[in-house]
Chains A and B, each alone.
Chain A
Amino acid sequence: MNFNFRLLLISIFILLSFTSSYSQKVGISGYVKDSLTGETLIGATVAIKAEGVGTTTNNYGFYTFQIEKGKFEISVSYIGYQARKFNLDIISNATLNISLMPSAILQGEVEVTGEKQNKNVTKNEMSKVELSAERVKELPALFGEVDVLRTITLLPGIKSGGEGSTGFYVRGGGPDQNLVLLDEAVIYNPSHLLGFFSVFNADAVKNIEVIKGGMPAQYGSRLSSIVNVTMKEGNNQKFEVDGGIGIISSRLMIQGPLKKNKSSFILTARRTYIDVLVQPFLKANLKGNRYYFYDLNFKANYILNDKNRIFLSSYWGDDVFSYKSPDVSSIKFSTAWGNKFVGGRWNHIFNNKLFLNTSVVYNQYELTTNATFQQARFELFSGLHDWNAKMDFNLNLHPRHKILYGGNYIYHTFTPGIASFKFNGEGNSTTAKINSQYAHEAALYVSEEWDVTENFSVQGGLRYAYFNQVGPYKQEVFNELGGPTGKFITYNSNQSIKVYQGLEPRLNLRLTLNEQSSVKASINKVDQFLHLATTSGASLPSDLWIPSSRLVKPQIAWQYATGYFRNINDNMFETSVEIYYKNMQNQIEFRPGAQLFFNANLENEVIEGKGESYGAEFFIKKNKGKLTGWIGYTLSRTTRTFDFSTGPITYPYRYDRLHDLSVVLTYQISKKWNANFVFVYGTGNAVTLPFSAVLYNLGFDQQLQPTSTVIDNYNYDKVNSTRLPAYHRADLSFNYKAKAGKNLESFWNFSLYNLYNRANPYFIYSEKDELANKVQYKMVYLFPILPSVTYNFKF
């Protein structure tokens, strides 16, 4: 352990010592921004083509590179923006902030311009996709609700959880193996309404980055993917109000300068109102039900000077359900769950070579429940709270060397459950508590991107991951039957309970074959110290995150991927084929039927196993012309191996899909109209069904007929051996840009979800059919063809 840590420090020192050896170069750095709003642009390309050097802006819109003195033409490009070129005579270090003009697709531009030629071929990373919120907004949407997470499931290698679900599964990984970040805050439960909608209000979103493999060293802590959502910063030029009115919710966004060119803010709000709309139509016995969710996003930033900029961001969202008995007023129930965070960020430019981002974030996920039943009162709380600090340095030493290094630290507090009960007439309430757990999680990383030759580049990195479960903790000891023994192991405050650590090598290689094609390969290892306690395919508010501990080991994955990337016809078509293999150790399942919520013995319900996933992903994207879009196809297999007490068995993972196809097309009909089409197809999910039944808890009536209960009997030798019907669906939408008023811009989105009215399985159940004298499986499907309309405005 000590050796590993020392090795890491030495490596960082050696890399930093390179700084002096390239001192004869000059540095060019700055921000790339939207010319109308002042928003920084993430992933914009800044290149000096003649020299064969270039870079992209980082997550904060900042770029920097080193070059010999001289005269150069610098080109700057970003998708959806007009590219720009500058002729510069570079004689010393210089700051060059660049503004790009949006090409305004909805104003009738036929071509999406500005994407750097062959960017997907020449960039080092593989298995990484970026989406703009504007692109997401155009696609057909369920109930007209634009959804970031649902859109990323249209990309190859990322599978949807099923009908209506925002849950996603990346290259055979589980739902807890995706790190979902909103402005660097971890969002532990990124969905509303049991997974039907995500917490991301597209109005507030600037950029979505999805990394499903070849994970850079600055990311870690989840095995399968990083979904990095960046909020807009706010227009620092003028005040602007945007909004949308949909059939189940409305949205409003206000943004503007606090001080022009210096500071801006953005505030967005979204709330569903289906509870209000359906009230008049509910039957009397359902009128006491109410449900809604809301999101609030806020962000402000201030440019202190050329070298310093600070940000404040926050998200506040909840799902709220309540019930009040229409008959007995003293019977009430309410529950609320949601994520919240507040974070501060400081961007500092040391010089033309070195950039620093420092973030401090507090985030939480909480579930609270209150119930009143006549004289009885019941309250329940569970939650997870994090304090997170991180520093990321970008160091550009040489045109061919870019170094990233930094670290982060998180203090986790897990509160699995506190329940209190009070009966009228009694003084104090009775409280039951599952003891809280605490942990330190930290990481240090260093990564270098090295263009070894014009055609060959290496991005190598090393991440050191550390996890320490600490006290105070009073761990109850249970016997082999799960009964309490009355014994406890007590740990004092900050006393170490269990330490896990690991070195995670990361390697990306790129060999450019010619201007239009390249071959890439990546290897990476990731350790994951947090685990989601869930047995369901859906996202439940009561799902708990649990830490690695003495009894629960960290999950570990190695992923190997290689791919061929080729652009055709002057970048009109981008194509790629990626092949991957992922090996996952210490995967977690829970004993069949285990109680996951409010269980002090949860750690003993864990079964450890392993997983394996491999597949090929095919992708073709059309960038230019009236018709744009992409087709993604994945051929894959995913298995898990667990011992459910009858010996280890290998079985298909629930979301193992041999075939997964997505087609996303946009056709620009005219300056005012465009049409969007989505088609998805996926092999049916693997499910475990009972093969026999047990008649139990028997009694006999006066005719001596049994009054038994029929219990499904599952055979765990045959887990997930049955397939649900295949999932397929087509959606269509039209966007119409209405005639703009003096200060008003607006567009309408008309969506048809499930165009050909396919009945896709949400879940299945069996029913005894007395007349047909057989047991019949029935499939519940949720959404027939669903039209929706959303009005969006901006002034």
Chain B
Amino acid sequence: MIKKRHILLSMLLGAMLLGACTKNIDIQVPKDDEKIVVEAYINNLYPNLNYVLITKTVNYFNPNFSLIGFGNALVIIGEGKIVSANDTTWTSYTLTPNPLKEGIYNNGSLLGKEGYVYKLEIWLNDRYYSSYTTIPPVVPLDSLTREIVYKSNTPRALLSVHFAEPPSLGENYRVMLRYGSNPLFYAWGDVADSNQSFFNDDNSNGVYRHFTYLRSFQMGDTIQYYLATMDRATYNFWDSYVSARQNGGPFATPIQLRSNVKGKDVIGCFSGYALSRKQFIFRL
């Protein structure tokens, strides 16, 4: 949260004071080798949101950013129960291609469990890719509150979220929400709208946390609010993802996605989420 504020400030300053102009330029960049992209999730609440999507990078100048999925992979997720430091018992789940879209694999009986470790294995065109993730303990949401503000004499509501950050060190969080009249689309891309954010307890462990969303909501909106805890490797990937997504302007720097998937020429993350959820309806 803190780190982006100064960059945004800087951009705001620049935009306020300087009337910048824009023109098209042609830039030649070398072609890059294609890489496999793995997007995989395991969570403890929604079996239909546990899936693996296998695609590939697209040419930067490709006029059509269409999704190119691989439907010919063998995908297995192993669920590991940690018995002791040196002993983990594994249960394997084979994921099958989902007819919804080529490249998606899932298994309806796979639901994540708190404290378990998960291993993703992919065999694709003689290549092997693997990744581990964990589902840490769920951190429950305490409450959601609202405050009324008036914009052009119309009442709007600001949402505040409250929860107790546990005393143990090393929690990493992602918050997401769904609101308004959006129908339930498939997959996390819909759940995580622009209000998603990532943070951890590195600098403020064990304190009661409050978040107030910068955007306001309409009266009558229903909010589904999710708090996900995740392991550090998953957090690192999403932290780099947010940085890359917000990267732009005069202060932009190259961002490298911090993948937790191993293998040759692969990008991606196997994300284990321990979810807690609350619903809130804004009323006057």
A708 touches B212 (CB 8 A): no
Chain B residues 11-45 with CB under 8 Å of chain A are 12-14, 16-18, 20-32, 34-35, 37, 39
Check: A391 CB closer than 8 A to any chain B CB: no
Q: Which residues of B contact A711 (CB under 8 A)?
A: 241, 244-245, 257
Check: B5 CB closer than 8 A to any chain A CB: yes
When chains A and B are docked, how far (Å) is the Cα of A46 from the Cα of B13?
50
Given contacts A194-B13, A289-B16, A692-B60, contact A707 B253 (CB under 8 A): no
Q: Which residues of B contact A595 (CB under 8 A)?
A: 3, 239, 243
Given contacts A373-B214, A592-B255, contact A777 B248 (CB under 8 A): no
B249 touches A779 (CB 8 A): no
Instruction: List 19 extra interface pairs beyond A375-B160, A593-B258, CB under 8 A.
Output: A327-B149, A419-B203, A482-B236, A486-B169, A595-B243, A597-B2, A692-B57, A692-B60, A693-B65, A694-B37, A696-B37, A698-B187, A698-B189, A707-B189, A712-B244, A721-B30, A762-B20, A765-B248, A776-B24
Q: Which of A402-410, A427-435, A465-473, A609-617 contacts B (4 or more CB under 8 A)?
A: A427-435
8 tightest A-B contacts by CB?
Answer: A699-B189, A691-B32, A699-B190, A432-B203, A593-B255, A483-B232, A542-B6, A592-B256
Q: Which residues of A contact B61 (CB under 8 A)?
A: 774-775
Residues of B within 8 A of A (CB): 2-3, 5-7, 9-10, 12-14, 16-18, 20-32, 34-35, 37, 39, 53, 55, 57-67, 100-101, 147, 149-152, 158, 160, 169-170, 172, 183, 185-192, 202-205, 207-208, 210, 212, 214, 232-233, 236, 239-241, 243-245, 247-258, 267-268
A538's partner among B27, B62, B66, B251 (CB-CB below 8 A) is: B251
A763 touches B250 (CB 8 A): yes
Given contacts A373-B212, A699-B189, A759-B21, contact A691 B160 (CB under 8 A): no
Given contacts A693-B60, A698-B187, contact A593 B18 (CB under 8 A): no
Residues of A within 8 A of B (CB): 193-194, 274, 286, 289, 291, 321, 323, 327-328, 335, 369, 371, 373-376, 380, 417, 419, 421, 423, 426, 430, 432-434, 479, 481-486, 535-538, 540-542, 591-593, 595-601, 644, 688-702, 704, 706-716, 718-719, 721-722, 725, 759, 761-766, 768, 773-782, 784
Interchain Cβ contacts under 8 Å between A and B, 16 examples? A327-B152, A417-B2, A486-B169, A535-B253, A593-B243, A689-B27, A692-B34, A694-B58, A699-B190, A708-B67, A712-B244, A712-B255, A713-B32, A716-B254, A775-B63, A781-B23
A700 touches B187 (CB 8 A): yes
Q: Which residues of A contact B239 (CB under 8 A)?
A: 593, 595
Q: Which residues of B contact A698 (CB under 8 A)?
A: 39, 53, 67, 187-189
A598 touches B9 (CB 8 A): no
Q: How far is the CB of A677 from chain B (nearest CB, A)?
A: 24
A193 touches B13 (CB 8 A): yes
Of chain A, the residue at the smallest CB distance from B205 is A484
B254's partner among A274, A321, A592 (CB-CB below 8 A) is: A592
Q: How far is the CB of B111 from chain A (nearest CB, A)?
A: 20
Q: Which residues of A contact B202 (CB under 8 A)?
A: 483-484, 600-601
Q: Which residues of A contact B256 (CB under 8 A)?
A: 591-593, 644, 714, 716
A369 touches B5 (CB 8 A): yes
Q: How far is the CB of B208 from chain A (nearest CB, A)?
A: 8
When chains A and B are docked, how far (Å) is the Cα of A214 from the Cα of B35?
49
B212 touches A376 (CB 8 A): yes
Q: Which residues of A contact B18 (CB under 8 A)?
A: 782
Interface centre among B9, B59, B62, B152 (most CB of A within 10 A): B9
When chains A and B are docked, how far (Å) is the Cα of A483 from the Cα of B240?
15
Of chain B, the residue at the smallest CB distance from A763 is B250
Of chain A, the residue at the smallest CB distance from B172 is A483
When chains A and B are docked, how far (Å) is the Cα of A601 from the Cα of B202?
9
A768 touches B65 (CB 8 A): yes
Q: Which residues of B contact A538 (CB under 8 A)?
A: 10, 250-251
When chains A and B are docked, how far (Å) is the Cα of A697 from the Cα of B241?
9
B32 touches A778 (CB 8 A): no
Q: How far is the CB of A384 from chain B (nearest CB, A)?
A: 16
Interface centre among B31, B34, B65, B152 (most CB of A within 10 A): B65
Interface centre among B100, B239, B245 (most CB of A within 10 A): B245
A328 touches B6 (CB 8 A): no
Q: Which residues of A contact B158 (CB under 8 A)?
A: 374
Of chain B, the residue at the smallest CB distance from A766 is B60
B241 touches A696 (CB 8 A): yes
Given contacts A432-B203, A593-B243, contact A692 B58 (CB under 8 A): yes
A380's partner among B2, B147, B191, B245 (CB-CB below 8 A) is: B2
A780 touches B186 (CB 8 A): no
Of chain B, the residue at the smallest CB distance from A337 is B6
A597's partner among B3, B16, B205 (CB-CB below 8 A) is: B3
A759 touches B60 (CB 8 A): no
Q: How far is the CB of B256 from chain A (nearest CB, A)?
A: 4
When chains A and B are docked, how far (Å) is the Cα of A51 from the Cα of B258?
70
Given contacts A597-B2, A695-B65, A699-B191, contact A765 B57 (CB under 8 A): no
Q: Which residues of A contact B24 (CB under 8 A)?
A: 776-779
When chains A and B are docked, how far (Å) is the Cα of A289 from the Cα of B232?
38
Q: How far is the CB of B161 from chain A (nearest CB, A)?
A: 11
When chains A and B are docked, how far (Å) is the Cα of A765 from the Cα of B253?
11
